[in-house]
Amino acid sequence: MTLVMPPGCDNGRVADGTGLASLRRYTWWTLAGAAVSVLVLFAGGWLVAGGTPLWARLLGGAALGVAVTASVVLLHRRLAAVVPGEVPRRWLAAGGAGAAVLGAVELGFGEYGRWALAPAVLVAVGATFLSPHGQRWLLGGASAAAAVPGLVVSWAMADGGLLYAALFPAGLVIFSGWSVLGPLWAWDVAGRLHAARRLEAELAVKDERLRFAADLHDIQGHHLQVIALKSELAARLAATDPDRAEAEMREVRRLAADALRETRALVHGYRRTTLEEEISNATRVLAAADIDARMDLAPAPSGLSATGRHLLGLVMREATTNVLRHSRAARADVEYRVDGDRARLRVSNDGALAPTEEASGLATLAERLAAAGGDLTWRHEADRFEVAATLPVGAP
């Protein structure tokens, strides 16, 4: 049986080629491609048209190159963050200057439908670094200001195109802002959703640990407090009332045995698990963390004992915890196979951080598997971390 978890739409990292990685590439190529196409093909197309003076071609070409470069750099910086960060003022100023020079050259030759393209694109790109309130003010002010130059030039030239010269540039500014900010809005929403879902997965792990700590405190706190009081009482009675002191110490022994029994019961209930349950749990937890979990599972053999399923379940749980705590994983692969008389479990993930203390829990599990006739190994190569466990099918 092969189960493949579908990648979720997230902010940054579900899997290479999917999720936010794909969304980021799509958004990048959409915005950068559209900006460059508009600037080069439309705004700059006039430069190579017949009849354009050489000085206008040179000046406009240089301004176009600056505007295109600045637009690409600004969009790259903006998409590198989930939310808008510091505004690259130098690039924004350079791009704005290039767009203004190119627009002025084209407007001087009566290109009312073309001159505002470059300024509109740079205004839209600059708006991506602002808050929604700032974006509205910038686009509104820029669209109103864009109507003025064409209106003045058309009126001075008396060419009869006042309405077109005034309204078309304003419409270009609004349309450019809508075209750029729309995909960026989807990118930001996906980013915040991804961060929230990863936080949800981490909180689920912490909540479970807190639950166990609270249960352990409830069991141990009462018993230890009573044991301490009765031990103190027995010490005071030892000289004056030995029989009473002996009775108190027997009660202390009973309380200690009860505490030990209840603690074992708690640990047994908390840790007793099976491979099937832990794989199911890992599927949910990794999906909640927006990690692309690829499950390649063979049917569980009937000869694998409850202890064997429990041990492999612990390995699965520890490996899942390591993926969440010690990696920035985009993908995790879980493979379970039965080769002859041995059950084999392998869990690997990418995005592994530098080795820290993640092997401490694995070392303890390795001893337990070795006692059952199996083995547990792990290795860290580049950004990949892999845990592999084997266990005899008939292990008691």
Same domain, 61 and 210: no
Give the pairing of strands 331-339 and 292-297. parallel
Interstrand relation of 2-4 and 292-297 (parallel, antiparallel or unpaired): antiparallel
Same domain, yes or no: 353 and 241? no
Q: 44 and 117: one domain?
A: yes
**Residue 375 domain boundaries:** 275-392
The residues with which 344 forms a beta bridge, in sequence order, are: 337, 390
Q: Which DSSP symbol is given to 41?
A: I
* Non-local CB neighbours of 298 within 8 Å, separated by 6+ positions: 1, 336, 337, 338
pLDDT at 6: 30
Q: Say which CATH number the domain at 309 has.
A: 3.30.565.10
**25 and 70: one domain?**
yes
- 33 and 146 inside one domain: yes
Kindly state whether residues 82 and 138 are assigned to the same domain.
Answer: yes
| Domain end position, chosen among 166, 197, 228 | 197
Closest CA to 34 of 46, 22, 23, 43: 43
User: Token pair 């041995």 is at which residue?
Assistant: 342
Alpha carbons within 13 A on the beta-carbon side of 284: 9
Q: Note the pTM of the prediction, 2 decimals.
A: 0.48
244: pLDDT strictly greater than 90: no
Listed residues 242, 271, 300: the one ending a domain:
271
pLDDT surpasses 80 at 19: no
Same domain, 359 and 267: no
Give me the half-sphere count of Cα atoms (radius 13 Å) on the Cβ side of residue 95. Answer: 27
DSSP secondary structure string for all residues of 327-354: B--SEEEEEEEEETTEEEEEEEESSB-S
Burial label for 133, CB within 10 Å (0-12, 13-18, 19+), is exposed
Residue 145 sits in the same domain as residue 76:
yes
Q: Contact, 15 vs 331, CB < 8 A?
A: yes
Q: Which residue has the tokens 């706190």?
A: 221
Residues 56 and 89 in one domain: yes
What SS3 class is residue 375? strand
Q: Which amino acid is at 205?
A: V
Backbone phi, psi, residue 185, to 5°: -65, -45
Residue 227 pLDDT exceeds 50: yes
Predicted pLDDT at 153: 79
- Which one-letter amino acid corresponds to residue 72? V
Same domain, yes or no, for 217 and 137?
no
CATH number at residue 255: 1.20.5.1930
pLDDT tens column, 81-131 = 655 557 788 888 998 898 889 888 888 887 777 788 888 888 888 888 888
Q: What is the pLDDT of residues 283-314, one digit of tens each?
A: 877 776 678 888 888 776 556 788 888 888 88
How many domains is the chain partitioned into structurally?
Answer: 3
**How many H-runs (helices) and E-runs (strands) does the chain carry?**
10, 6
pLDDT in tens, 348-381: 999 888 765 555 678 888 888 898 889 999 998 8
User: Measured between alpha carbons, how far is residue 214 from residues 209, 210, 217, 271 in Å?
Assistant: 9, 6, 5, 16
Is residue 217 domain-shared with residue 364, that is, in the same domain?
no
Which one of 271, 294, 316 terminates a domain?
271
| Residues 263 and 290 both lie in one domain | no
Res. 136: pLDDT tops 50: yes
Range of 187-191, 250-254, 266-270, 271-275 with top mean pLDDT:
250-254
In angstroms, the CA 63 to CA 45 distance is 13
CA distance 20 to 148: 41
